[in-house]
Amino acid sequence: MIIVQDKTLKFWDTRSGTKPTHVETVGAKITSLDASRNGYWLLVCARDNTIHLFDLRTNSEIKSFATEGFTVTCDWTRATFSPDSEYVSVGSSDGTVYIWNINDTTKLERSLRGEHKAGVVSVAWQPAGNGLTTCDKAKNVVVWADI
């Protein structure tokens, strides 16, 4: 079980009692969490314009992702894993969508631009993993195919 309070992630083993087994702090307020389908990783989006990748088997941070131009849009901006848990994506306040490969370095894999005129708050991968659906603050939805 994971509880988020401001900048803190608290990990519990629900079989062992009422005290957290591990506590991690990220640099700013947390806007979203996403668990990978394989159950190995937790993705944390934070207001300091970073995405953190935690290993749920060890409750430790593996790496973080950031790039020039990426700015978290709001307190509910959602970052997400691809269906195969190999990529992470998130939208930015300038309407750009950013994608990183978690198995590679923290270098940006790809950015998608031009379709959103407002900050992107939500990103969802298509089940096959070859497309994205994104939504911005102006309530515009974009389907990105063959990415």
Reported as a single tens digit per residue, the pLDDT across 96-122 is: 999 999 987 778 999 999 999 999 999
Give the pLDDT score at 125.
96
pLDDT for res 2: 54
| pLDDT score recorded for residue 106 | 77
Q: What is the DSSP letter of 138?
A: T
Query: In this predicted structure, what is the pLDDT of residue 15?
Result: 80
* Contact call for residues 1 and 11 (beta carbons, < 8 A): yes
Q: What is the pLDDT of residue 21?
A: 80
Report the C-alpha dihedral over residues 125, 130, 135, 141, rounded to 10 degrees.
-130
Residues 6 or more apart whose Cβ sits within 8 Å of residue 58? none
- What is the per-residue pLDDT for 27? 84
Whole-model pTM: value is: 0.89
Q: Which residues of the chain have pLDDT under 70?
A: 1-5
CB 94 within 8 A of CB 53: no
**Integer Cα distance of 3 and 30 in angstroms:** 11
Sign of CA dihedral 52, 53, 58, 59: positive
Distances (CA, A) of 99 to 25, 68, 88, 109: 24, 13, 6, 6
Alpha carbons 99 and 12: distance in angstroms, whole number: 30
